[in-house]
Chains A and B, each alone.
Chain A
């Protein structure tokens, strides 16, 4: 007993003392001072002979002092600095455990706000580079250390940037990374690693971060370069995946939890659970909305894309510089460069002739090179430069002597290139290539046909007459096509593409300019497909009093029939339509007048399909709702405007998937594969048959089930049954009504 009581006040070990001090720092001041003096003496010992054996005790004491440091700020004012200088100057002498402990303690001090985050980063960051590379002696410990420092840095920056971003700290850390990258050795990998991780978590997302990676990409060391390139190629995808995962996590249903709280026994534990759940939910929601997270891709945030692309090409790919990379790395570089060129429409003319060397069927990973070729072409490059590439591909890949996959890959690549730069081919070559539409090999056949389809849209004049197709031929004969596309002439779309269709459609339906604008339903954006029903639903409600004999599904069909002919047939029929519409809505008070005013304008708009006029008219009178945009999309699909406008020019930012270039190659399946394929469908389905009497989840009979099975004679005299007969008419009605509404609700 005595002993125990003594132990309670007289600390015999450090952990006990730590506990006591934290509870009552005032009373245990002397004990603390004694231990602090002990720490000092041990520190002196350590300085006198580093690597002496009492490391454990020293470690323990450091932990103790840093834990209670906040209780005695004056006495321990110098302690953080001592730790810092110890780890900064003597880290080679320290045992691995002690090193780890000191870093831990520094993090602890920073968490208690005794040292600043900047100073912590400045202390431990040099360790990262000091313990990597060939310089380190004991490999396994240094790995652990690097891991510790790295994860510390990441979590620190994450903590600092939750809520609002701490730009000052970010800046200073980024400056450290810049400095690291200015050295010519492989240490720069740490800068890229750190940046990439922070980018993946959405902590760093500004152009300064991207600037670090551009510097890494232009670094002389190939390791650093590769990691920089990989960042630009893959980091954004990583980030998206990361965020998707996070959003998946919040799977629990708050409503059901609340419901359970109402029904189940109320205990403090459950209440706390619910509270915690509500808290996390709120936190997640707020984090999602409030964070100043920008999801611009890294390539878009480049400050000087042209300069960057040129430098990458010159320093890494041109001449003998490329010798330090192996093929995969070179391909990654080509991929990056081509995406830069495609996205920003840059001009790096050297790259097209550079590609020529790699464009042979025997080249390893040639499809990836070809994908890069396609990405690198766009309509602002002089067609001559791309033409060289196209010709080379045609010569090397597309001939009768090669395997069908090779030919298909060649034609597909050419198609991808031409879809971006349609002028880069001459007519004879195009004719040669389209001849392959008669090929017996399926992939080649498909590839050639897709090339024809492309040129039907872009420049049907270049095709054989028989290949042009009906629409294009009719347009040419009607003189609507204004010749071949020309280099340097941009076809800009102004306003909202397809708005004239909406204007026309609205007039057909007899809607006033402002109708539906105030309707709440129109402003709701559905995650799923905006189906036609919704939209139809609200115009029915707007003018429900009129004798519209068209039902919903009828209307769908009619539109499909109508839309295309309307475009070509001209205005006669439409005028008729409008007139009839006007007749119908004559007796409306306000809507009619407006439509009458609009009518001449609408006529003008519909006649030449003038997009600008329609835009001016509609946009000035009305605010477009999400429902309107959905309608526009639908109408455009029907009208096939997509093809006419040639929106393919927007494809520049798309990546070309190298796998798809070869086309569909079907090999005969092995027996195992066939069996597996057949089994796939069978595995998860039940035996056929009725589900009657079977339960989804095993459980005992419920009271309801028991009640149903109960003998009728036993039940008939119960009040609950007898009472039903004796109810008043009113009560019966009530119950019936309630039953009906319930059933209706069930149906939905």
Chain B
């Protein structure tokens, strides 16, 4: 009998389990149950607790960098708020500033007025905090300012001088060294003044610019900043003799390590720029005498003064006289510009005479 039982048991091993409709499939014998039950779920990335309050500096930095991308947000409200936030949370250490500045500076040509205003206050605050900031980044900032000064939108154009004012205030050295001629020219186009008296440039722009109401007020602002810029450029950057109480040879400075950042930038060793063909530069003189100025480096005040006197001052005087006649705030500014120009001319003459003697 036992043999029958054994037989059945043996057969059982090889019988196939039947599948039935509506029943789950039987688990195989070697199945391991891996299911588990947990009582809490933790989601650290979504924690409600504010991170800034916990302030480890690294976390704070990460947050700030994250916010920098919001400067490209499509809503101008968001951009403005981002700027304000950055201004309120300006870091102490200088490492982050480069990143901040590269993200923020393109907003100079932002369409929205409120964003630009926020940016002005941000830049002012930042350069208050980091005194060398503007000096260091002047090259990239001035490019955006130039672009703003020539922008087709008049509001952006008018606001551009405010940025330039900040630059002159906190980092004038770099600006006047690297972009003297260009900025002068930008001022001319900003004021819609002509650089040469050719007949073809009897411009409609002069007449049209008076159409806009804001122009007289903003023109005053522009002229004021123009005065500042010229002053900054013409000023001697030599150290006050009162501060130095040891006598040194007057050529010593040339053999010392230069005190300014990027002293050899005008050589353009590490810069990529479009090359002008020889064929095109040949006929330049007939077109515009100032274009070949692009190649002149204006590292010292003498050259700057020379360039200014030779190419720009006559036009400045001529145009500012016109503006003076219009009177008002701009007239005042123009008067001061005129005075400045006269002073420069006198100074140059004196120097020339001194040199002759």
Interface residues of A (CB under 8 A from B): 6, 9-14, 17, 26-31, 33-35, 37-38, 41-45, 47-49, 52-54, 57, 74-75, 77-78, 81-82, 85-86
Contacts A53-B72, A77-B287 given: A37-B152 contact, CB under 8 Å? Answer: no
* CB atoms of A54 and B106 under 8 A apart: yes
Interface of A is mostly: helix
* CB atoms of B208 and A85 under 8 A apart: no
Proximity string of chain B (268-303) to chain A, C-beta cutoff 8 Å, 1 when within and 0 when not: 000111111100100100111000000000000000
Determine the distance from Cα of A217 to Cα of B105 in the docked complex, in whole angstroms: 56
* Residue from B144, B201, B275, B286 in contact with A29 in the complex, judged by beta carbons closer than 8 Å: B201
* CB atoms of B287 and A33 under 8 A apart: no
Closest B residue to A45 by CB, please name it.
Answer: B143
Which residues of chain B are within 8 angstroms of A37 by Cβ–Cβ distance? 146, 150, 185-186, 189
* CB atoms of A31 and B205 under 8 A apart: yes
Other than A9-B208, A41-B143, A74-B286, give 16 A-B pairs with Cβ distance below 8 A: A12-B153, A13-B152, A30-B192, A30-B204, A30-B205, A34-B192, A35-B152, A37-B185, A41-B150, A44-B143, A47-B272, A48-B143, A53-B72, A77-B280, A82-B274, A85-B275
Closest Cβ of chain B: how far from A59's Cβ, in Å? Answer: 14
* CB atoms of B139 and A17 under 8 A apart: no
Closest Cβ of chain B: how far from A363's Cβ, in Å? Answer: 52
* CB atoms of B106 and A53 under 8 A apart: yes
Interface size on B, residues (CB 8 A): 41
* CB atoms of B276 and A42 under 8 A apart: no
Determine the distance from Cα of A30 to Cα of B202 in the docked complex, in whole angstroms: 9
Determine the distance from Cα of A232 to Cα of B194 in the docked complex, in whole angstroms: 64
* CB atoms of B147 and A41 under 8 A apart: yes
Q: List 29 A-B contacts (CB under 8 A).
A: A9-B204, A9-B208, A13-B152, A14-B152, A26-B200, A27-B204, A29-B200, A29-B203, A30-B189, A30-B204, A34-B150, A34-B205, A37-B185, A38-B151, A41-B143, A41-B146, A41-B186, A44-B146, A47-B272, A48-B143, A49-B102, A49-B140, A52-B106, A54-B106, A54-B109, A75-B288, A77-B280, A81-B274, A81-B276
* Residue from A48, A49, A77, A81 in contact with B283 in the complex, judged by beta carbons closer than 8 Å: A77
Q: Is B211 an interface residue (CB 8 A)?
A: yes
* CB atoms of A78 and B280 under 8 A apart: yes
* CB atoms of A44 and B150 under 8 A apart: no
Closest Cβ of chain B: how far from A8's Cβ, in Å? Answer: 11
Which residues of chain B are within 8 angstroms of A14 by Cβ–Cβ distance? 152
Determine the distance from Cα of A78 to Cα of B273 in the docked complex, in whole angstroms: 13
Determine the distance from Cα of A126 to Cα of B16 in the docked complex, in whole angstroms: 71
* Residue from B109, B189, B277 in contact with A81 in the complex, judged by beta carbons closer than 8 Å: B277
Proximity string of chain B (133-164) to chain A, C-beta cutoff 8 Å, 1 when within and 0 when not: 00000011001101101111100000000000
Task: Name the interface residues of B4-45: CB closer than 8 Å to any CB of A.
Answer: none
Which residues of chain A are within 8 angstroms of B272 by Cβ–Cβ distance? 47
Closest Cβ of chain B: how far from A28's Cβ, in Å? Answer: 7
Closest Cβ of chain A: how far from B222's Cβ, in Å? Answer: 14
Which residues of chain B are within 8 angstroms of A47 by Cβ–Cβ distance? 271-274
5 tightest Cβ-Cβ pairs between the two chains A and B: A38-B150, A30-B205, A41-B146, A30-B203, A41-B147
Which residues of chain A are within 8 angstroms of B192 by Cβ–Cβ distance? 30, 34
Q: Which of A35, A47, A78 has the most CB of B within 10 A?
A: A78
* CB atoms of A10 and B208 under 8 A apart: yes
Determine the distance from Cα of A35 to Cα of B185 in the docked complex, in whole angstroms: 13
Determine the distance from Cα of A316 to Cα of B241 in the docked complex, in whole angstroms: 86
* CB atoms of A48 and B139 under 8 A apart: yes
Q: Which of B185, B201, B204, B276 has the most CB of A within 10 A?
A: B204
Determine the distance from Cα of A33 to Cα of B195 in the docked complex, in whole angstroms: 11
Proximity string of chain B (194-233) to chain A, C-beta cutoff 8 Å, 1 when within and 0 when not: 1000001101111010011000000000000000000000
